[in-house]
Amino acid sequence: MKYGDSPALLRRSVFVLIISLVAVMTGCKKAAVVTLPPIQVNVVKAVQQDVPIYEDYVAQTYGMADVDIRARVEGWVMELKFREGSKVNKGDLLYVLDDIQYKTRVDRQASELTNAEAEMVRAKGELSRVKPLAELNALSKQDLDNATAAYNAAEAQVRAAQASLDNAKIELGYTRVRAPFDGVIGISNVRVGDYVSRAGTTSVLATISSINAVRVRFQVSEREYLRIAQRPKADLESAKKVQLILSDGSMYPQTGQVNFADREIDPKTGTLTVEAAFPNPNGLLRPGLFVKARVLISTFPGAIMIPQRAVFQLQHLSQIYVVTDSSTLKASAVETGPKSGDGWIITKGLNAGDKVAIVGTMALTPNSKIEVIEMKWPEEKQPKQ
């Protein structure tokens, strides 16, 4: 096109150029369209089985008996006869306290008893002399009464002196502190040279725990208590059996039995304290452990279950993705029941054997074309909650 051509011809040339560019661009877009392959999705089958529902409670262990060993007399600690943290047997000597003052008291009381016995012998002899003379009217009745009273007083004095001597011997015995039963003794609160008394903080020397069996205490809320207490009597028997989960997540091999529940709901916390007893033959459990007490609350017969991660919740709506025969996803609303392990009971909206997709956070929508990758669930036995 040369300079001076008409404007109409110029406009027509520009229009043709634009049309040509649009055609080229449209052809390029059509060539870029690529069909995506189906997305791989993990799929599990809904299972049907009897599902026990357990409730876990934070609990703490105690010895079957946790007894503070206290000083019953005052004195200096002379010896420690045990190794801290070791097992001790009933009657084993644990502490030796200074006993000099108590030995002195025993000797003094023994002397007073001897004097009282001598006085009683004298009074008895006097009574033996006065009594026949009074019967012959050689002495007055007043003399007989005086001799009898003196003998009775001397006899009472002997009994009092004997009681004082016995008490002094008991206190002397308290200077030897012995184990009240078989168990494990803790860290000593006193050392050799410390002064202990029968009252105050210095009276507690150490603590002994009997751990052949242990007590486990946990708290249940008012609502949980009412739910359990209103169950049929036969079902309550299963609730009395308690399992124990240790802090490392392992299950304690022994099963416990509920001993009792407290007489009242704690008004400060709104909970009821429950105690269960567990055998402890190997001594694995020690007082003070924080554990979980697992109680069987109920059993759902023939329940439909799927993994919890297959359920999506939005406010009060629960939804799952069911795999159709055409390998597409179909959103389905369901009603859920209690959870058990990593599974969730579905009470409505799902049948046993239905395939459910575990889509996680993938951007899938209903009618998405998928490639099914079947997962085995549960692998062996449905884990407990």
CA-CA distance, 346 to 334, in Å (whole number)?
7
Using alpha carbons, select from 349, 326, 312, 360 the residue that is nearest to residue 46: 349
Pairing of the two strands 241-245 and 256-261: antiparallel
Looking at residue 380, what is its pLDDT?
Answer: 52
Looking at residue 383, what is its pLDDT?
Answer: 44
**Do the first three CATH levels of 41-51+300-374 and 55-63+211-299 match, i.e. the same topology?**
no
Query: Domain 55-63+211-299 is in which class?
Result: mainly beta
Looking at residue 136, what is its pLDDT?
Answer: 84
User: Is the distance from CB of 350 to CB of 331 less than 8 angstroms?
Assistant: no
Using alpha carbons, select from 326, 328, 271, 235 the residue that is nearest to residue 57: 271
Low-confidence ranges of the chain (pLDDT < 50): 1-6, 8-10, 30-31, 382-384
Q: What are phi and psi of 100, to 5 degrees?
A: -60, -50
The CATH classification of domain 100-173, taken from the options 1.10.287.470, 1.10.730.10, 3.10.400.10, 3.40.920.10: 1.10.287.470
Looking at residue 31, what is its pLDDT?
Answer: 47
Indicate the CATH number for domain 41-51+300-374.
2.40.420.20
| H-assigned helices in the chain | 7-32, 100-135, 141-173, 222-229, 233-239
Looking at residue 209, what is its pLDDT?
Answer: 96
- Indicate the domain borders of the chain: 41-51+300-374, 55-63+211-299, 69-97+175-208, 100-173
CA-CA distance, 321 to 372, in Å (whole number)?
13
Which one-letter amino acid corresponds to residue 42?
N
Rounded to the nearest 10°, the torsion over CA 252, 47, 373, 366 is -120
Residue 359 gets the label, from left (phi > 0), alpha (psi -120 to 50) or beta, of: alpha
| H-assigned helices in 196-274 | 222-229, 233-239
| Continuous segment of H or E residues that includes residue 245 | strand 241-245
Query: Domain 69-97+175-208 is in which class?
Result: mainly beta
Q: What are phi and psi of 189, to 5 degrees?
A: -85, -10
User: Is the distance from CB of 316 to CB of 358 less than 8 angstroms?
Assistant: no
Place of tokens 């452990």: 289
Residue 233: HSE in the Cβ half-sphere, 13 Å Cα cutoff: 0
* 152 alpha-carbon distance from chain centroid: 63
